Homo-oligomer: A and B are copies of this chain.
Amino acid sequence: MTPKITAFKWSPDGGKGMARDTRVRWALEEVGQPYEVELVSFKQMKQADHRAKHPFGQIPTYEEDGQTLFESGSIILHIAERHAGLLPTDPHARARAITWMFAALSTVEPPIVEREQADFTDPGQPWHSPARFGFLEDRIRVRLKELADYLGDRDWLEGEFTAGDLMMVMVLRRADTWLLAEFPTLAAYVARAEARPAYQRAYAAQAELYSGEPTDSF
């Protein structure tokens, strides 16, 4: 059975690939697995039919062989366990690659999303201020510096490209471009990943969906 994922019917970022379905698309492209996409509106995401797939009313979900998964981390790990190309076969290297998946999601992404969310949820609140943005951005910088120090002159986090790189790059792409540019090591790392044919196919597939005008049904 061809796996089916869900994605936004309308893209808040205009198709820049920030939504979490792009991560899953990329993983599927890396392993050469075709997939179907079901689009859900913001309203549908919060309704019972979709919540039966995703208790927190988000995308992406992943359906295959009568099973439904959610959380991009879990979906990508599931894909990586079943197909060659995203996890090393050596047990030690495999565990390190999985460690970087969790590091991307648990340590690097939260401050980036916090800064991003501030522009969506905080306007009009007294704390929506340049001083607080600076504070939040400094928190991101701490993580970016630590990651850049670790990466050094490595091409990828652990030898070959893995699901850990895939997740880390997708998280870094959510940081503001000018913030990432302060760390040339990381900007080059992201560019190296974005040059992968699988990434380009995944990016193009989602961008194509969102190239028109938003409909009134998002």
Contacts and interface: CB of A to CB of B under 8 A. Distances in A.
A183 to B, nearest CB: 14
A67 B99 CA distance: 12
A125 interface: yes
Given A55-B147, A125-B131, A103 B69 contact: no
Contact of A95 (B67, B107, B146): B67
Contact of A99 (B74, B92, B110): B74
A218 interface: no
Contact of A143 (B56, B95, B135): B56
Nearest to A132: B127
Contact of A127 (B67, B73, B107, B126): B126
A71 B106 contact: yes
B146 A57 contact: yes
A179 interface: no
Contacts of A73: 102, 105-106
A133 B70 CA distance: 29
Contacts of A132: 125-127
B102 A74 contact: yes
Interface of A: 51, 55-58, 66-67, 69-74, 77-78, 92, 95-96, 98-99, 101-103, 105-107, 109-110, 113-114, 125-127, 129, 131-132, 135, 143, 146-147, 149-150
